[in-house]
């Protein structure tokens, strides 16, 4: 499973690369136990200190977990941990609001189409309940929290693991984007009723299992945001 590659300039990079290659080839899967530090050290011809350094790096990004007394494993659940450094990197790059808009629009338009095909009845009931609560929300903080839940539920019901994971990776940025978008819409005279009507159109489209209508409803939502910021299509 592991072979030596003396050309790698930093030995712990070599370890990480070997693990990545084994995942790509299917030799390692979620939940699999990694070889012991001694086994990897001997097969790669590197020190156990380098092996530990590589494993710590993989643990930081949420790919590997250490189980006391049992060894190191490829994680089975990546919620709220996988690629968190990527989210931090996005923030450090100081991506513009327009870039965030473009990213969220691209992801959520596709999610809306997929959700129309894959959403289950109990999830439609939950989405409707969230919308009902949005109508009676007493303040903007509560409305914002419900808005975020609404959009993440649509993403979840897309049943596309990669789309869901990407949205989770950038969740902090997306949550902040939703907050700023709502504030901008309301600031420019777009009323709370406009937002509720658009969300209701989306729920209605999903209940009809109509992917085109769901897509168009989400386009309407983003057109409202785009207009509030003065962005052009």
134 domain residue, yes or no: yes
pLDDT of residue 206: 98
Q: Which two tokens stand for residue 80?
A: 């709220």
Claim to verify: residue 140 and residue 193 sit in the same structural domain? yes
Give me the mean pLDDT over the 2-6 stretch: 55
Enumerate the β-bridge partners of residue 74.
Answer: 64
- pLDDT tens-digit readout, 101-153: 788 899 999 999 999 999 999 999 999 999 999 999 988 889 989 998 999 99
Claim to verify: residue 91 and residue 66 sit in the same structural domain? no
219 domain residue, yes or no: yes
Claim to verify: residue 49 and residue 159 sit in the same structural domain? no
pLDDT of residue 179: 81
The pTM (predicted TM-score) of the whole model is 0.69
Claim to verify: residue 89 and residue 68 sit in the same structural domain? no
99 domain residue, yes or no: yes
Claim to verify: residue 97 and residue 66 sit in the same structural domain? no
129 domain residue, yes or no: yes
47 domain residue, yes or no: yes
Confidence of residue 22 (pLDDT cuts 50, 70, 90): confident
CA distances from 176 to 14, 33, 112, 114, 153 (A): 37, 38, 21, 24, 17
Which among 74, 94, 121 is the end of a domain? 74
Confidence of residue 186 (pLDDT cuts 50, 70, 90): confident
* Number of independent structural domains in the chain: 2
CA dihedral 130, 134, 137, 142 (to 10 degrees): 70
148 domain residue, yes or no: yes
Range of the domain at 34: 11-74
Which among 36, 54, 74 is the end of a domain? 74
- Give the HSE-up count for residue 26: Cα atoms under 13 Å, Cβ half-sphere: 0
pLDDT of residue 136: 95
Claim to verify: residue 102 and residue 23 sit in the same structural domain? no
Claim to verify: residue 93 and residue 185 sit in the same structural domain? yes
Q: For position 55, which CATH number holds? A: 1.10.10.10
Alpha helices by DSSP H, listed for the chain, are: 11-25, 37-44, 48-60, 84-92, 97-118, 121-136, 140-156, 161-169, 171-187, 192-207, 211-229
Which among 46, 74, 102 is the end of a domain? 74
Claim to verify: residue 200 and residue 90 sit in the same structural domain? yes
2 domain residue, yes or no: no
Claim to verify: residue 209 and residue 190 sit in the same structural domain? yes
66 domain residue, yes or no: yes
Q: For position 120, which CATH number holds? A: 1.20.120.530
């Amino acid at each position: 499973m592991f072979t030596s590659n003396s050309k790698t300039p930093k030995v712990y990079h070599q370890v990480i690369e070997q693990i990545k290659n084994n995942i790509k080839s299917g030799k390692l899967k979620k939940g699999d136990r990694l070889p012991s530090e001694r086994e990897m050290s001997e097969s790669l011809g590197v020190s156990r200190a380098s092996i530990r350094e590589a494993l710590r790096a993989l643990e930081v990004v949420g790919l590997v977990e250490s189980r006391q007394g049992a060894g190191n494993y490829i994680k089975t659940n990546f919620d709220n941990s996988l690629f968190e450094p990527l989210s931090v990197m996005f923030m450090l790059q100081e991506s513009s609001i327009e870039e965030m808009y473009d990213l969220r629009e691209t992801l959520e338009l596709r999610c809306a189409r997929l959700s129309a095909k894959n959403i289950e009845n109990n999830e439609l009931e939950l989405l409707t309940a969230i919308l009902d609560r949005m109508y009676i929300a007493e303040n903007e903080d509560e409305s914002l929290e419900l808005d975020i839940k609404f959009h993440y539920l649509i993403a979840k019901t897309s049943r596309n693991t990669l789309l869901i994971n990407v949205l989770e990776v950038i969740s902090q940025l997306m949550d902040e984007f939703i907050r700023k978008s709502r504030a901008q819409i309301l600031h420019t005279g777009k009323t709370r009723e406009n937002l509720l009507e658009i969300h209701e159109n989306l729920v209605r489209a999903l209940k009809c299992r109509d992917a085109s209508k769901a897509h168009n409803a989400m386009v309407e939502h983003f057109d409202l945001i785009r207009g509030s910021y003065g962005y052009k299509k």
